[in-house]
Amino acid sequence: MIKENVVLGEGVAIYHPQLVNLYGCTIGEGSRIGTFVEIQKGASVGARCKISSHTFICEGVDIEDGVFIGHGVMFTNDIYPRAVNPDGGLQTEEDWRVIKTRVKAGASIGSNATILCGITIGEGALIGAGAVVTRDVPDYAIVAGVPARVVGDARTRGKEYESMTNFG
C-alpha cells in the first residue's frame, strides 16, 4: 500500500506497489523499491538508491543519494524499546522519541544487516551481510561481524580483488 502522503521523485520504480508499505516518507528520483519493503513516516530515501526486498526503514532514518540496501535489512529508531510504561499502560508515540540514523551517499548495506539507531554510516562505506552495526562507520570503511568492526577500506577493494585473481 502506498499512502497519498508519500512523496515520490521522478522515475521512482516500485516493482510491486500492492506488496509494499509506504507512508509519510520521501523517495528521491530514480530510486528503486523492492517487494515487501516498509518505509515509515519521516524516513527519507535519496535519489538513485536501490532498496531490496523485505527491508524495513523506520521513522528517523535518512538515506542519502546512491545508496544500496540489500535484502532483509532492518533499521531501528529506539534505544530502549518497550511495549508498556512503568505503570503497566501501553506505550504510545508520546512515550518515546525517535533516535535518528543517517546513511551517507554511496554506502552499501549487505543483506540481513541490522542497523541500530543513532549512528551514521559513512560515505561509500560497505556493511557486510548479516552485520549488526552498533556504532558510527567511517567513510569508505568495510565493516562486518556482530558487532560490526572495520575489516577493510572500500577504496581498495577493487585492487584486492585484482590481486586475488591475477594468476599470471
Strands 38-39 and 56-57: parallel
Inside any domain, residue 150: yes
Inside any domain, residue 129: yes
Does the pTM exceed 0.85? Answer: yes
Question: pLDDT tens track of the chain, all 168 residues?
Answer: 899 999 999 999 998 888 999 999 999 999 999 999 999 999 999 999 999 999 999 999 999 999 999 999 999 998 888 778 778 888 777 777 899 999 999 999 999 999 999 999 999 999 999 999 999 999 999 999 999 999 999 998 755 545 444 544
Inside any domain, residue 122: yes
Complete DSSP assignment for 93-113: GGG--PPPEEE-TT-EE-TT-
Domain containing 53 equals 7-165
Q: From CA 8, how far away is CA 49, in angstroms rounded?
A: 13
CATH number of the domain that 45 lies in? 2.160.10.10
